Copies of this chain bind each other. A is one copy, B any other.
Amino acid sequence: MPKYRPRFHTPGTSPGTLTSHPDQPAGEAVLTLVRYDSETLDERPNATLEECLAAVQEQEAAQSSDGGGPRKGVVWLHVTGMPDADLAARLQNMLGLHPLALEDVLAGSQRPKVEQYEEHLFVVLSHADYTGLDLHLYQTSLFLKGSLVVSIDSCPSELLGPIRTRLRAGGRMRQRGADYLLYALIDLAVDHKFPVLERLGTQVEEMEASLLANPKPGSTIRIHRLKRHMMLLRRALWPEREVLSQMQRGDMEPAISRKTQVFLRDTYDHAVQAMDLLETYREVLGDLQNLLLTAASNRLNDIIRVLTVISIIFMPLTFIVGVYGMNFDREAGPWAMPELGWAYGYPAVMLAMLGIAVGMLWFFKRRGWI
């Protein structure tokens, strides 16, 4: 799977062209339709777009007959898996979603962003999945159009579950409008980063503990891998923080109510905290890399010091024994190695060598080499 390569249409393709990308094959997209208000909850697994359209129209009719009363029901269409070009085209035609937004949905792996189209709000977030070895970032696309929320999540793991549970349990979410559902989905996508961060944090902690105890060079590649994962996560988190900051601004207010913005501020806080943790991890890993480098340099120093000490001790000794291994003819004259004929020559040389070795060791000791 390509890790760093971009996904793109052939340059010059008309914008809004809805085609699947070869790297991002369209899986089997499963549609789930949920319709709820404070009193009723209607879930239809394996729904069709037609059912969805009918629900939206019904909802709008009910709301207008109300005479502008409080917004009541919410229609939520959730698509699990990657939609194909055909489904995207029908989403455009039947639900009125903007082709540029749907192009981004099909492309996958877009940068998180929020875009206000005339007809609807479009939010792209990332959905992180980390096994401890590999980090995958899936794209979560959210549309808010009146009382309709469309969520498209390409990750095979379940995003729908926790929200459905909360809807069934009733509570605040059932009282509130579609913008609160949008918030809940965003909150979920952001909070999904925390288990990932926990795993990363655990690995960083373990690595720090083990390296402070014994900095062994083999950790370099593991650090490199961890940094790589963090970089990917950071690339997703940074723009998500931006998205959340933008969604608290005043110009979002027709679509997103004041009350919901208070909750988005809470999610923003989570995103900031997640970024903060990532920065901490990065800093710790950077320091650990320095530690490894220093440790390697210290170890090298140690080894070379030992080599030097041994060499310096044995080199003179080997020279001396070499001297007395010379074959000068002792009978040539009195200056021809007379030591060899002395009765105590051998022990004297041995003692001298011992003295040299001890002196050397004392010298090294004083100099702090051993």
Contacts and interface: CB of A to CB of B under 8 A. Distances in A.
B337 A346 contact: yes
B308 A304 contact: yes
Nearest to A16: B172
Nearest to A202: B5
A281 interface: yes
Interface string A95-117: 00000100000000011010101
A46 interface: no
A324 B319 contact: no
Given A340-B329, A346-B326, A6 B194 contact: yes
A287 B227 contact: yes
A278 to B, nearest CB: 10
Interface in A175-227: 187-188, 191-192, 194-195, 197-198, 201-202, 204-205, 212, 217, 220-221, 224, 227
A328 to B, nearest CB: 5
A186 to B, nearest CB: 11
A321 interface: yes
A220 B294 contact: yes
Number of copies: 5
Range, interface on chain A: 35 or more
A93 interface: no
Q: Give the dominant DSSP class at A's interface.
A: helix
Interface string A324-367: 11111110111111011111111101100000000000000000
The residue in A235, A332, A347 that gathers the most chain B C-beta atoms within 10 A of its C-beta is A332
A352 to B, nearest CB: 12
A235 B329 CA distance: 79
Contact of A300 (B166, B197, B304): B304
A85 interface: no
Nearest to A9: B191
B217 A294 contact: yes
A64 to B, nearest CB: 29
B335 A344 contact: yes
A6 B100 contact: no
Interface stretch (A24-32, A248-256, A267-275): A267-275
A307 interface: yes
A315 B318 contact: yes
A94 interface: no
B296 A298 contact: yes
A128 to B, nearest CB: 11
A92 interface: no
Nearest to A263: B15
A91 interface: no
Given A12-B188, A300-B301, 18 more contacts: A3-B205, A6-B273, A8-B270, A11-B192, A14-B171, A14-B173, A111-B272, A217-B294, A220-B294, A224-B287, A289-B290, A297-B300, A303-B305, A314-B319, A317-B319, A324-B327, A325-B325, A336-B345
16 contacts: A6-B198, A6-B201, A6-B273, A8-B270, A12-B188, A100-B263, A111-B276, A117-B262, A231-B283, A292-B294, A301-B303, A304-B307, A310-B312, A314-B316, A321-B325, A332-B340
